[in-house]
Amino acid sequence: MNPDINIETKVIENYIVKSKRERYLNFIKKPKTRKKFTDELAHFSSQLDNFEEIKTSEWDVINEKLKRIKSTQDCYVISENSEIDGKRMKIDNALTETIGMGMGTLIVFGNADLVFYEGEGPSDRWIKDLKK
């Protein structure tokens, strides 16, 4: 696994509450401390800055928002699930490996233009579109 520090930095700077940004940016700088960041993803919705809760079909919401992002074929995954963490994946594969699996995950679309969060609990799904 080779995390994309540039994408992860953008996510933290644009999507995480201001009071936690510096802490998380320090975590992702080193492979040894990055796990502290991913371990917190299970119960992370309170750290998200102005996300919209998804109350209907997450697939429909994500697909609708993706229409605004041109040429998005894949996404970047930040997850407590080590099988998919730090990887670029096809969107369908990333969503299938994330939704309903009970592991905190951030799926990053485009150049961090859109982020989907799946938490540990049922129906703990959030999304934010910077281009909205």
Residue-wise pLDDT for 87-110, tens only, equals: 999 998 999 999 889 999 999 998
* Among the listed residues 85, 67, 75, 71, the one whose alpha carbon sits nearest the alpha carbon of residue 112: 75
Q: Is 71 helix (H, G, I), strand (E, B) or coil?
A: coil
Structural domain boundaries, residue 48 = 5-129
Place of tokens 């229409």: 67
Which of 79 and 70 is assigned the larger pLDDT? Answer: 79
Q: Tokens for 98?
A: 């994330």
Question: Residues, the chain, total?
Answer: 132
Residue-wise pLDDT for 57-78, tens only, equals: 777 777 777 776 665 788 999 9
> Element (H or E) spanning 52, and its range?
strand 52-53
State how many domains the chain has. Answer: 1
pLDDT surpasses 70 at 48: yes
Residue-wise pLDDT for 17-45, tens only, equals: 999 999 999 999 998 899 999 999 998 98
